[in-house]
């Protein structure tokens, strides 16, 4: 198993050092049950190497998870800042909308008042014209009666 692709260099160096120490310290015992003893030592070394490898894998996983957590924390902070900025923008737009609506209503009221005044003025002008016509007709009638 090639660990250099999965693990940072410092973990593979430690593993190589440990493997060298274990292989150098291994000296088969010359006892009657020497074969069984050296087999036990070999099994112990194998288990130890597997445990070390498992610990290195866990450490590397913890490092990756820590980096992912840090990245997620940063992303969360950025999203919170964006949320605050959007809330501020929304509040500003609501305020502007409210002001524009109030101005529109004021303009509408002023426009209605102006239109009402214009209608009243136009009505009075028509009455004035009608009265002027009557006055003119009345004066003509008077002149014609006086002339007769």
Distance (Å, whole) CA 142 – CA 130: 18
Q: Is 2 inside any structural domain?
A: no
In a domain, 18, yes or no: yes
Task: Decide: pTM greater than 0.95.
Answer: no
pLDDT in tens, 30-46: 444 567 889 999 999 99
Tens digit of each residue's pLDDT (9 = 90 or more) over 56-75: 999 999 999 999 999 999 99
CA–CA distance, 49 with 79 (Å, rounded to integer): 45
pLDDT at 13 (0 to 100): 62
16 domain-assigned: yes
pLDDT: which is higher, 6 or 123: 123
Q: What is the mean pLDDT of residues 122-147?
A: 89
Task: Give the structural domain span for 102.
Answer: 9-147
Q: What pLDDT score does 21 carry?
A: 57
Q: Is residue 57 one of the residues assigned to a domain?
A: yes
4, part of any domain: no
pLDDT confidence bin for 16, thresholds 50/70/90? low
Nearest C-alpha neighbor of 31 from the set 41, 44, 45: 41
CA distance 144 to 34: 160
- 77-133 confidence digits (pLDDT tens): 999 999 999 999 999 999 999 999 999 999 988 888 999 999 999 999 999 999 999
């Amino acid at each position: 198993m090639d660990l250099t692709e999965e693990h940072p260099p410092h973990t593979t160096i430690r593993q190589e050092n440990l493997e060298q120490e274990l292989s150098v310290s291994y000296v088969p015992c010359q006892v009657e049950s020497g074969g069984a003893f050296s087999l036990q030592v070999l099994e112990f070394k194998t288990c130890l190497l597997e445990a070390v490898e498992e610990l290195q894998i866990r450490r590397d996983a913890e490092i990756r998870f820590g980096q992912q957590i840090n990245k997620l924390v940063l992303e969360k902070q950025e999203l919170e800042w964006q949320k605050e900025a959007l809330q501020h923008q929304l509040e500003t737009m609501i305020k502007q909308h409210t002001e524009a609506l109030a101005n529109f209503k004021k303009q509408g009221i002023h426009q209605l008042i102006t239109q009402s005044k214009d209608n009243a003025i136009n009505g009075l002008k028509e009455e004035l014209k009608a009265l002027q016509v009557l006055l003119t007709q009345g004066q003509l009638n008077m002149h014609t009666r006086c002339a007769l």
